[in-house]
Amino acid sequence: MNATAKPEVTGFFDKRTFSIQYVVADPATKKCAIVDPVLDFDEKSGATATRNADRILEFVRDQGLTVERILDTHPHADHLSAARHLKAKTGAPTAIGEKVIEVQELWKGIYHWPDFPADGSQWDKLFAEGETFKVGEISAKVLFSPGHTLASITYVIGDAAFVHDTLFMPDSGTARADFPGGSARRLWQSIKEILALPDETRIFTGHDYQPSGRKPLWESTVAEQKAENTHIAKCKTEAEFVKVREARDRTLPMPKLILHALQVNINGGRLPHPEANGKRYLKFPLDALDGAAWE
């Protein structure tokens, strides 16, 4: 794989969910992939919109790009995926890691969906660990990066690695590992694999929570992460990291959208079917997750 190829990467920050969505383009062929797109959702009113996705589509049109793939790194717990909407608009196939089946199986039980097809058929492509593909003429590879979820993967496209919820910017550390199926120990192993990439590899993270009110940031390098990440630079062993990560996770409430998002995202970004009155309804299990913030 030609890791020296340098795709053009454009990030789109969603301030409501602190998410970064990406357009990754081959400048030679003008072909691109969209990574982790957000479907707008307001949990207070139940309203949905496609502002983020439409902003991406406008950029794609303005740049004269052709969308080849719509890529999700994992089933997100903090925003709804716009993959299905973008597929309808572009015709591009959707993809995610093949371990999504394990996440589907776990969450179909939580939602009590006995007839839900936990087979990954909601996506056009399920990537295996180590599988390769191309964006235009730029070679890409899939790393299996669980820990935050059972199914998390990293897309390494040329010299750019899209790590979403594994590493944050160096001043923010690493992602939580306490969701159902999560593991701080496995997260450490995934991070070490990512940081074994060449030092100059660009790291693109999926969230930025703007510590100390700074502007949103989402690009670093492997070298910067190894030297400056607030968790990785301090924790020299797996045991040290697991202790720090698990202590931090015990202080965190569940994401406010986790029960909204997972029932959409394990279904490939499809909203629930309308009922007889034409309205769509989300389903909430009560007392299914630990992590209530009572104080």
Residue-wise pLDDT tens digits, 81-91: 999 999 999 99
Which domains are assigned to the chain?
8-263 (3.60.15.10)
Would the pTM of this model clear 0.75, i.e. be above it?
Answer: yes
Q: Which two tokens stand for residue 126?
A: 């399920």
Of 189-193, 225-229, 287-291, minimum mean pLDDT range: 287-291
Average pLDDT, the chain: 95
Average pLDDT over residues 38-42: 97
Residue-level pLDDT at 215: 97
Q: How confident is the model at residue 289 (pLDDT cuts 50, 70, 90)?
A: confident
pLDDT above 80 for 127:
yes
pLDDT above 90 for 154:
yes
Cα–Cα distance measured from residue 130 to residue 89, given in angstroms and rounded to the nearest whole number? 29
What is the per-residue pLDDT across 214-246, written as a single tens digit (0 to 9) for each?
999 999 999 999 999 999 998 989 999 999 999
pLDDT above 90 for 179:
no
